Structure 1
Amino acid sequence: MPNGSGLNKGNIKGLFPLFAFLITYILVRVISGSFETMPIMVGISIGCLVAFFLNDKNHKISFTKKVTIFCKGGGEETLILMVIIFLLAGAFYSVANSMHAVDSIVNIGLSILPSNIILPGLFVVSCILSFAMGTSMGTVSTLAPIAIGIATKIGVDIPLVAGIVIGGAMFGDNLSFISDTTIAATRTQEVTMKDKFKVNFLMVLPAIIINIALLLLVDVNASAVTEHLDFNLLNILPYAIIIVLSLVGMHVIPVMGLGILSGLIIGVMHQDFTILESFKVIHTGMVWMEDMALIAVLVGGMVALMKYLGGIDYLLYHLTKNVKSVRAGEFSIASLVSLLDIATTNNTISIIVSGPIAKNIGNEIGINRSRIAAILDLFSSAFSGLSPFGGQLLVMAGLCSISPIDIIPYVWYCMLMLVFGIFFIIIGKPMPKKVN
């Protein structure tokens, strides 16, 4: 089995841009005591600036040449496709939200649940909603008031229902076809969403089952939940289109386009917005994703300069020099994306940064790229759901008026994700039949 011994040893100086980003990002947050002080785009820009002023001692080039390297890296085909998908995903979410598809999904789930399984049901609704929406933050914001109301009525601790919603939110963040993490993981590894989903779902399925079983054991007075909730089945059609067409293997761009179009038609039919207003709805959603799209381009340029400086070779060499098996390579990838997620508290950014490195490790060791995509998404999403500094826990804690630390012990699903992620790396399963 090939390992790092066959690689160029590279130069640690090539990692300075990444160090500059991480150190600045974390330090400013710690000093200020605020998680709003250092926007990720500014942190990435600082890393890019450092990269422009470094040189490979053996191959010094002009600043103009560095700009060319940066632009080629940022304009790489996979990254530009990722940018387009980000914008389409934002447009879809805005359209679906405006035509009340989100409300319908939540209310359908809560209306059909038997009262004696309200807590497992809340988890399932969170999973369905986050899978349909593709955003954990949107799921948390939507379900937090409902979760608080349920906790009050059935007499359970608010941190428990908060942890249930966080777990369900990270389910969708990890698996949804329109989640930015899925987009990043599949694009950086150049695999289809369908192939990644098959591997990823089988890896988390035991976690889903055990989490539901544990929630069934919680004693509650669910008879108090009797509220009638309205919904419209037609409103969930755009989500059904996205899920079905993605599963049959259609390219993501027409899938997103058809989802947006169906949402617009239903929204106009129900007079949620006019045809002219629909353009603003689409634009609003695209604006929501502009930061993420631009960050992807900046990271692509920074990684290209890091590669020129020898940083990527250095990282690959030290991550794989003692690696003699696929299992060890997968653990290296899981460790890399987990550490970046803990440092940045953003699972999408951790995937965008580590994705190209993980792909190179996979090529060197011979790891199936669908498994790499699944591992990147699983571990980054799990740690995002357990980070007291992450946006999901901060938003939930703020809405529930409790500390993020109080919620962590109840985010059982994310803990189980890590357990089974490690388990399936150890046993080398599931393995796609088709090798990428």
Structure 2
Amino acid sequence: MLLFAFAVANIMTLAYLVRKGYELKKLLMVAWRGIWECKELFAIILLMGATISVWLSSGIVPSLIFYGFGYMKGINFVLAAFLSTAVISYVMGTACGTLSTIGIAILGIGKGLMIPVPVLLGAIVSGSFIADKIAPISSLTNLTIQMTGTSYKKYVETSLKTLIPAIIISAAIYYILGNSYGGEADFYTIQQYQNFIKQGFEVSPFLLLFPVFVVVLAFSGIKIVYNMSLSVFAASIITMVLQKLNFWIVLKSILWGYKANTGMTQLDSLISGGGAIPMIEVVLIVMGGVSLSSLFEEADMMKPITNMFYKKDDKVPALIAKTGALSTLLNVVTCDQTVGILVPAKFSASRFDEKGLDRSILARTISDTGTIVAPLMFWNVNALIIYGITGISAISYAPYGVLCYVCPLVTIIGSLFLSKKAGKVSSEEGKSIAI
């Protein structure tokens, strides 16, 4: 549906611009140039699908779930749901992938503990969408980085200054909610899940070091394409050696996604998925967004809107608030995070440069607002996917998606301190800040 919408939008924009006197061949070249500049991003998206499948087949994700459930015994379950999904989503790099694996398992256990489903799902959604904001192998994280022209290391350093306070505040709220509804994790239910995982996979604490290695490489400045390619290769070897799957099954999993066969239908549905080929649709959607944005830029179609939106005398807090509002508004209108990243990144960058603000602050502003609030809107693609996975509408769980509200607030409050810092360096040409 979204792919069709982008295709129609591109065709209509091309037709409109040709009628205005633009040469069709030149417009097509502009669109192609924009797409070609993002070729590395498209490779990352395909590699993300491959990574998820081999991390499932190798036992890495099952081991994370196995040991993660072990730590849930006897603790506040709502808080545990938030923290565990946050960690696993950061490793997996996909919010919906986290929701459809450990998220469903946690939800099932929570129902048995009589914890209201909307409360627990709100905590799971909050933790899961950390992936879209900051995970090194997330397509949205890499789209944000690439479009704003910053590095992953710089982006994370800047983002943690708002994300850590947001996580602490959210954890405190979930701790209170968890105490309100009682319910410590049920030992018997958790033991069942662990037993079935152990029957279907060779689990090992050493497998937990693999995601750590990938994160270390990302922070070391290794290009994410090389990092993910190495990850897929190494996890494939682990799958063949440790899980005793042959080469052709591994290759099929990389291309089409991993299909678990543990003998337990419920567990199989939790630890299946991924694949490069299913990610082709995501690549095409991003291509549609990039080409449309390139056409808008060529014809200066967005300039009047952004000029009306922004003012020359905007202070730093106003600039950040307006950029966040623009990203969120585009997310609301288009029902997807992609345009909410592309447009602010392209059309707000010069304004951040003028204020002496590092581009990583622009990236953080977008991810703290338009990206993170996506699952709160029931018409958004992410919310519809969550509804398809859980049968729960965003109308029910949105009030409890605490992190999705806290992140934008922390960013706006933090911009007040940025204003003071920016004032100190505004007279120093070429100097930028990141706080």
Alignment correspondent of 1:238: 210
Q: Secondary structure at the match of 2:115?
A: coil
Residues 94 and 281 in structure 1, CA contact (< 8 A), matched pair in contact too: yes
**1:153 aligned to 2:125?**
no
Pick from 311, 316, 319 the counterpart of residue 326 of structure 1. Answer: 316
Pick from 359, 362, 365 the counterpart of residue 369 of structure 1. Answer: 359
Residues 10 and 292 in structure 2, CA contact (< 8 A), matched pair in contact too: yes
- Change in Cα spacing, 1:430 to 1:49, as seen in structure 2 (3 Å) is farther
- Change in Cα spacing, 1:154 to 1:298, as seen in structure 2 (3 Å) is closer
> What is the aligned-residue identity percentage?
21
Deviations 1:128-153 (A, max 9, x none): 11101111101111134322333233
Task: State the AA in 2 paired with 1:66.
Answer: L
Alignment correspondent of 1:21: none
Residues 341 and 370 in structure 2, CA contact (< 8 A), matched pair in contact too: yes
Q: Secondary structure at the match of 2:372?
A: helix
- Change in Cα spacing, 1:325 to 1:139, as seen in structure 2 (3 Å) is same
**1:101 aligned to 2:60?**
yes
**1:257 aligned to 2:229?**
yes
**1:271 aligned to 2:261?**
no
- Please give the alpha-carbon distance, in whole angstroms, between the structure 2 residues aligned to 1:149 and 1:193: 35
RMSD of aligned Cα (Å)? 2.5
Residues 77 and 185 in structure 2, CA contact (< 8 A), matched pair in contact too: no
Structure with more contact order per residue of length (Cα contacts < 8 Å, sep ≥ 6): 1
Task: State the AA in 2 paired with 1:254.
Answer: Y
1:274-293 superposed matches below 5 A: 274-284=246-256, 285-293=275-283
**1:192 aligned to 2:151?**
yes
Task: State the AA in 1 paired with 2:309.
Answer: L
Alignment correspondent of 2:415: 425
State the number of aligned residues. 395
- Please give the alpha-carbon distance, in whole angstroms, between the structure 1 residues aligned to 2:245 and 2:82: 32
- Please give the alpha-carbon distance, in whole angstroms, between the structure 2 residues aligned to 1:270 and 1:197: 33
- Change in Cα spacing, 1:280 to 1:379, as seen in structure 2 (3 Å) is same
- C-alpha deviation, 1:345, in angstroms: 2.6
Unaligned segments of structure 2, at least 5 residues:
257-274, 423-430
- Please give the alpha-carbon distance, in whole angstroms, between the structure 2 residues aligned to 1:175 and 1:362: 21
- Change in Cα spacing, 1:396 to 1:44, as seen in structure 2 (3 Å) is closer
- C-alpha deviation, 1:343, in angstroms: 1.8
Using the size of structure 1 for normalisation, the TM-score is: 0.83
Residues 96 and 128 in structure 2, CA contact (< 8 A), matched pair in contact too: yes
Deviations 1:266-285 (A, max 9, x none): 11112353223322222222
Pick from 3, 12, 22 the counterpart of residue 61 of structure 1. Answer: 22
Using the size of structure 2 for normalisation, the TM-score is: 0.83
- C-alpha deviation, 1:389, in angstroms: 2.3
- Change in Cα spacing, 1:304 to 1:364, as seen in structure 2 (3 Å) is farther
Alignment correspondent of 2:11: 49
- C-alpha deviation, 1:42, in angstroms: 1.2
- Please give the alpha-carbon distance, in whole angstroms, between the structure 1 residues aligned to 2:289 and 2:113: 47
Pick from 137, 153, 162 the counterpart of residue 203 of structure 1. Answer: 162
Unaligned segments of structure 1, at least 5 residues:
1-38
Pick from 122, 135, 140 the counterpart of residue 181 of structure 1. Answer: 140
- Please give the alpha-carbon distance, in whole angstroms, between the structure 1 residues aligned to 2:283 and 2:386: 25
Q: Secondary structure at the match of 2:150?
A: coil
Pick from 293, 301, 315 the counterpart of residue 311 of structure 1. Answer: 301
- Change in Cα spacing, 1:299 to 1:360, as seen in structure 2 (3 Å) is farther
- C-alpha deviation, 1:395, in angstroms: 4.0
